[in-house]
Amino acid sequence: MSRMIVKIYYENNILDDKCLCLDEVHIWIIRWNSISYLVSQYWNIIEDDEKSELLRYKNIEDCMRSLTGKILSRKLLSNYLGTSIQNIRIVKGKYGKPYMHSIQGYDEIRFSISHSNEFVVLAFTEFGSIGVDIEENKEFPQILRKLSNSEINEQTVLSNEDKFQNKIFYDEWTAKEAYVKALGLGLQKDLRTICIQGDKVFECGELMRSWKIISVNAVRGYSLSVAVNIKKKN
């Protein structure tokens, strides 16, 4: 496999023409409240069932985060493919993972969306499956029960005041979440069977050789990870 190139973009790059090359992973880090103009402009491209889903949110900020991800995924896919945003259709897999509906004559681009507080993050590639997850580094993790036994042992020294250890926890957590999202299995996957070591993924002690974890330290106070299947499509 040739070297993977990771590129990071922000909201000021949204209207720029970008080319997604074969060996690249593009990560977009967007403050959703900074692009409200784009959300208003493209509200009409959202499918009726998606609108119904959005209107069920009780918190307006949750609604806006989800809506921003839906619109940005279409907008950026249309930019990459050089086609109208009207031609982009998003479908969901069995467990809710979004996919671009194939368009005859265009390359297939895989993508993933995550959001936390003010940020919406998207990842794109022409490699295999991809997943992204972003989480705020809160004072104390409330999800220790989903860690593997070895990771729980590593967290015994964790304290509310230890921000460094907190960061390590969330880096591992987002890597797991990104991997599961890339698999498209949702809550069906037991996260305790997964262990992250650097950029490698292990399941039940076995190295998943075709997977790579990308840790991104670009947002202060947050952990951001991408999981990508590096076994390229034929």
pLDDT along the chain (234 residues), means of 10: 85 89 95 91 92 92 95 95 92 88 82 96 94 87 54 50 73 95 85 93 95 96 95 58
| Domain 5-127 fold | Ribosomal Protein L22; Chain A (3.90.470)
Q: Are strands 24-31 and 5-10 parallel, antiparallel or unpaired?
A: parallel
pLDDT of residue 160: 47
Pick the CATH number of 133-229 from 3.40.50.2300, 3.90.470.20, 3.40.50.720, 3.40.50.300: 3.90.470.20
CA distance 107 to 92: 19
pLDDT of residue 157: 46
Q: 223 by DSSP, 3-state: which?
A: strand
pLDDT of residue 144: 55
pLDDT of residue 143: 53
Q: Are 27 and 8 in contact (CB under 8 A)?
A: yes
pLDDT of residue 26: 98
Q: Could you tell me the residue ranges of all domains in the chain?
A: 5-127, 133-229
**Token digits of residue 74:** 């279409």
Q: Which of 31, 111, 28 is nearest to 77 (CA)?
A: 111
- Residue 59: exposure state from Cβ atoms within 10 A (0-12, 13-18, ≥19): exposed
User: Would you say the CATH fold of 133-229 matches that of 5-127?
Assistant: yes
Sheet of 194-197: strand order equals 194-197, 200-203, 206-207
Compute how many other C-beta atoms are within 10 angstroms of the C-beta atom of residue 7. 14
Q: Are 136 and 167 in contact (CB under 8 A)?
A: no
Residues β-bridged to residue 123: 27, 112
